[in-house]
Amino acid sequence: MLLKETRPIRSSNKRRLLLPIILLAALTLLGGLRFGEATEPVMGEATEPVTSVRESLANATGSVNASEGIAVELTDAEGNPCTTGYIRTYPNPRPADWEGDQPRNFDLIDGKCFVPIANFDEQKSFKIVLYPNGFAPYELRWTDTAKEPLPTTLSFKMPEKAFDPIGGRVIDTEGNPVAEATLSFSVSIVGRQNNPDIFSTYAQWIKTDADGYWIYQVLPQEQADQPFDLSITHASHPRLRISDGQAFKDYTAKDAEGKFVKTIALPAGLPLKGRIVDEQGNPVAGAIIHTNVTQSDSNLYGHGMTRSGENGEFLFENCSPKGDLHTVDIGICHRDFAPDIVRMEEITPDREPLNIVLKKGKQLIFKAVDEEGKPLEGMRISSRSWNNLCGTSIGTHQLFVDADRYGAVKTGEDGRFVWANAPESQFDLIIEGEKHQNVMIDFKTLKYGDEENVYVFKPTFTVTGTVIDAETGEPIPSFGVSEWFTFKGSSGLTQWDNRAGQDGKFTRNVGQRFGEFGNYYLRVEADGYEGLQSEDLIAQAGNTALEFKLKKATGQFATHLTGTVLQPDGTPAANTEIGVATPSAPLQVTGTKFNPHPGLNQNRARTDAAGKFSISRSSMNIGDQDYKLLFLQDSGTLQMTKEEFESHSGPITLQAWSRIEGTVRAGTEPMANTPVNWFMHIDYSEYVRERAIVNISGLNEHQTDAEGRFIFRVFPGKGYVGR
């Protein structure tokens, strides 16, 4: 196998990262994806109280054996117990009794809790996130328990106090409290891990009490000013999403009795009615109907689903007037008709019931075979988009009547799936199986009628690799391995899933990644070495063994990215967030903070109390690529290109934020409560130079006041204001 030495990767194509971001968002909610090199946790000696309460804690949690688990004690810096809160746990593999219940939370009692793990001795890796009330969260990982045994007793001092508690109250439109409503948002814990090179964002789910109040007591200090996306769900109300113009600190105000005063009213919802008929006007019973304006547990995205009755009528209650994408989307499928999607602007109280006409479709026959022509049973067929609508706009809109909750059907024993009423409107389909590489179906090549559309599947394959020093031949103890690929029919190169390797060895399974690969490469980075990329692996037949011989880097490539950051007044800029943009990993900013979406802005770090930082090239997959650094702090900001940073000496001083203010008028009249946007300028001339753009984009959304005025705090430099 040939390997090629790589320098900054160039391409004239934008990275098409939307689908990976969507799926990454979903995966990140399950506890994060990137695992870096394990480092020693910050732990003190086990104290006698932990050991003495092990048995009682084990009994309280129902554990048969007090040795099968971890006794945890959390204290502050002075050794005082962190009395209340909880810890969240991610075992690998999960104990049998944890199936369907991960992550699992355990409450702290006087700063202590016991985590029962029935398969304690079988744990390969383990992650625990600490959430004691009044302290910023902290994550501990054991990435390889064979080298770093999982402790049975854990005593940990929480390093940082949290921001003031935030909270509020959820009511209905009549002012009554809404109990058991679930509020969800994401919180980053960048820089609060025993492995500082790992980026983690965790979804938080907070329930309201009997009086509708909720409280969150573990917000990191620097996130108080951060804008965030808040969703509220309740069985008797439509989902409410608040995404613009709010920050965590907006939820700190209390009344004289100490109760939070921020109140959110859940709308009562409106009914969505309609009738499904055929082209002759006859009612169609049993049609499956999805919509994005109400809730259900019936599919992956939680959108509503029902079936039409004998007279073709259907009803969704408690609907939001508009969906998440500001439109009302309705998807319909039936065995005897082609599926259809209906889109409208909004639901109004006086809206007449919809009359939806289904038409007959045409037959499509798919057949999946292996390279020897043998039929493949159980291959999943699903759609990513249809009628230019992404599948997530209405959940997984079902094109197939017999689809599972993910919108997929399977081939039979003969490898065939017959779609009796396929639509003639444009759609895409992907066929995937656990042991075969994915195949994307090109709509333009489909043959309708009795002729089979046959697709040949190659097996997935395993890539094993060794990573050694080119001069000494010795294994490199710590390195990163990332995937670089294109999808068939697209030239946009995507980077994905950087993983840590240890002791000069790694293994990768190749073949399944949201579509059919056009090209596939593996790239290895290690601190102090030049990056190295493989040849295209898709063209290789069967399992492949690679050997990466890394050359020692010289100059800046041989070190971490390090420095000291000062505020505009010259004082140390503590807790400054730092984003690293590369050609394959752009940065996105909302307001004056990094966008909190879990799938964005993965390459992040922050400064310590003295304003110092150290960024690993391998863990963030920087290597010898082009990059930009973006520094964000309340007092100021700064962007630095790779050339600027590597030629800079001495401390880095932030620039003060700029400000834009103005008034929006219609003629001479001020326009109150009008949305106004500011966009950061992006230099697209880099495309002209055939250079892969290192993209940092920014958006600031604001509403005018009663006099039509607006004020933005923005990045220094060019930008655009519009409404």
DSSP code per residue over 418-475? EEEEE-SS-EEEEEEETTEEEEEE-GGG--BSSSEEEEEEPBPEEEEEEEEETTT-PB
Q: Are strands 201-207 and 182-188 parallel, antiparallel or unpaired?
A: antiparallel
- Asked if pLDDT for residue 711 goes beyond 60, the answer is yes
Q: Give the chain's radius of gyration (CA, Å).
A: 28
Give mean pLDDT, residues 175-191. Answer: 90
pLDDT of residue 618: 66
- Asked if pLDDT for residue 38 goes beyond 50, the answer is no
From residue 535, how far is each of 304, 333, 476, 529 by CA, in Å?
46, 44, 21, 19
Give mean pLDDT, residues 460-481. Answer: 90
pLDDT of residue 683: 52
Q: Are 511 and 438 in contact (CB under 8 A)?
A: yes
43-157 and 270-410, same CATH topology: yes
Cα(619)–Cα(607) distance, integer angstroms: 17
DSSP 255: -
Q: Could you tell me if residue 716 is left (phi over 0), alpha (psi between -120 and 50 degrees) or otherwise beta?
A: beta
DSSP 655: B
In order, the DSSP letters of 154-165 are EEEE---BPPSP
Q: Are 116 and 98 in contact (CB under 8 A)?
A: no
pLDDT of residue 183: 94
Give mean pLDDT, residues 183-187. Answer: 89
Q: Which of 340, 359, 335 is nearest to 419 (CA)?
A: 335
- Asked if pLDDT for residue 85 goes beyond 80, the answer is yes
Query: What does the CA dihedral 303, 307, 311, 316 come to, rounded to 10 degrees?
Result: -20
Q: Does the domain at residues 166-266 carry the CATH identifier 2.60.40.1120?
A: yes
Burial 580-601 (b: 16+ CB within 10 A, else e): bbbbbbbbbbbbbbbbbbbbbb
Cα(409)–Cα(552) distance, integer angstroms: 51
- Asked if pLDDT for residue 76 goes beyond 90, the answer is yes
Tell me the HSE value of 523 on the side-chain side, using a 13 A CA sphere.
30
Say what percent of the chain tops pLDDT 70.
78
- Asked if pLDDT for residue 668 goes beyond 80, the answer is yes
Q: Which of 332, 299, 348, 246 is nearest to 701 (CA)?
A: 246
pLDDT of residue 428: 79
Q: What rounded mean pLDDT belongs to the chain?
A: 80
Q: Are strands 166-172 and 213-216 parallel, antiparallel or unpaired?
A: antiparallel
pLDDT of residue 688: 33
pLDDT of residue 45: 31
Tell me the HSE value of 193 on the side-chain side, using a 13 A CA sphere.
28
Q: Could you tell me which residues are beta bridge partners of residue 215?
A: 167
Distance, C-alpha 49 to centroid of its chain:
39
Give mean pLDDT, residues 390-411. Answer: 72
Query: What does the CA dihedral 684, 687, 688, 690 come to, rounded to 10 degrees?
Result: 160
Place of tokens 């039936």: 334
Q: Where are the beta strands (DSSP E) in 540-657?
A: 544-550, 561-566, 577-581, 587-590, 593-594, 604-606, 612-615, 628-633, 636-641, 652-653
Name the 3-class secondary structure at 105.
strand
- Asked if pLDDT for residue 49 goes beyond 50, the answer is no
pLDDT of residue 419: 95
- Asked if pLDDT for residue 397 goes beyond 50, the answer is yes
pLDDT of residue 131: 96
Q: Which of 265, 272, 264, 389 is nearest to 321 (CA)?
A: 272
Q: Are 477 and 502 in contact (CB under 8 A)?
A: yes
Residue with the bigger pLDDT between 324 and 308: it is 308
pLDDT of residue 323: 66
Cα(523)–Cα(531) distance, integer angstroms: 7
Query: What does the CA dihedral 42, 28, 292, 439 come to, rounded to 10 degrees?
Result: -170
pLDDT of residue 413: 95
- Asked if pLDDT for residue 40 goes beyond 90, the answer is no
pLDDT-derived band at 108, boundaries 50, 70, 90? very high
Q: What is the pLDDT of residues 603-624, one digit of tens each?
A: 788 898 899 998 877 667 676 6
Q: List all residues 6 or more positions away from 258 whose beta carbon is below 8 Å from its beta carbon.
A: none
Domain edges within the chain? 3-26+460-555, 43-157, 166-266, 270-410, 659-722
Q: What is the pLDDT of residues 569-595, one digit of tens each?
A: 999 999 898 988 887 677 878 777 777
In order, the DSSP letters of 266-317 are EP--EEEEEEEE-TTS-B-TT-EEEEEEEE-SSSTT-EEEEE--TTSEEEEE
pLDDT of residue 667: 84
Cα(58)–Cα(69) distance, integer angstroms: 8
Q: Are 590 and 601 in contact (CB under 8 A)?
A: no
User: Would you mind telling me the total number of residues written for the chain in this entry?
Assistant: 723
- Asked if pLDDT for residue 277 goes beyond 70, the answer is yes
Cα(203)–Cα(183) distance, integer angstroms: 10
- Asked if pLDDT for residue 26 goes beyond 70, the answer is no
Distance, C-alpha 309 to centroid of its chain:
38
DSSP 503: T
pLDDT of residue 568: 94
Fold designation for 43-157: Immunoglobulin-like (2.60.40)
From residue 552, how far is each of 52, 187, 472, 478, 576 by CA, in Å?
52, 38, 11, 14, 31
Query: What does the CA dihedral 712, 713, 719, 722 come to, rounded to 10 degrees?
Result: -10
- Asked if pLDDT for residue 494 goes beyond 70, the answer is no
Q: Which of 309, 268, 271 is nearest to 289 (CA)?
A: 309
Burial 469-494 (b: 16+ CB within 10 A, else e): beeeeeebebbbbbbbbbbeeeeebb
Q: Does the domain at residues 270-410 carry the CATH identifier 2.60.40.1120?
A: yes
pLDDT of residue 42: 34
Cα(706)–Cα(709) distance, integer angstroms: 7
End-to-end CA distance of the chain: 55
- Asked if pLDDT for residue 9 goes beyond 60, the answer is no
- Asked if pLDDT for residue 390 goes beyond 50, the answer is yes
pLDDT of residue 244: 59
Q: What is the pLDDT of residues 191-225, one digit of tens each?
A: 788 876 566 778 888 999 999 999 999 999 888 88
pLDDT-derived band at 133, boundaries 50, 70, 90? very high
- Asked if pLDDT for residue 233 goes beyond 80, the answer is yes
pLDDT-derived band at 144, boundaries 50, 70, 90? confident
From residue 577, how far is each of 199, 235, 386, 649 by CA, in Å?
12, 38, 39, 20
Q: List all residues 6 or more positions away from 372 whose beta carbon is below 8 Å from its beta carbon.
A: none
* Burial label, 149 (beta-carbon count in 10 A; 0-12, 13-18, 19+): exposed
Q: What does the block give as tokens for 201? A: 């964002």
Q: Are strands 112-116 and 69-75 parallel, antiparallel or unpaired?
A: antiparallel
- Asked if pLDDT for residue 507 goes beyond 50, the answer is yes
pLDDT of residue 309: 96
* Burial label, 392 (beta-carbon count in 10 A; 0-12, 13-18, 19+): buried
Q: Does the domain at residues 3-26+460-555 carry the CATH identifier 3.90.1150.10?
A: no
Give mean pLDDT, residues 409-432. Answer: 90
Q: What does the block give as tokens for 103? A: 């992550």
- Asked if pLDDT for residue 37 goes beyond 60, the answer is no
| pTM over 0.85, yes/no | no
pLDDT of residue 386: 74
Query: Of 470-474, 584-588, 668-672, where does mean pLDDT reach its minimum?
Result: 584-588
Burial 427-436 (b: 16+ CB within 10 A, else e): bebbbbbeeb
In order, the DSSP letters of 335-400 are TTEEEEEEEES---TTPPPEEEE----EEEEEEEEETTS-B-TT-EEEEEEETTEETTBTBS--SS
Residue with the bigger pLDDT between 81 and 437: it is 81
Query: Of 254-258, 311-315, 498-502, where does mean pLDDT reach its minimum?
Result: 498-502
- Asked if pLDDT for residue 56 goes beyond 70, the answer is no
Cα(38)–Cα(199) distance, integer angstroms: 14
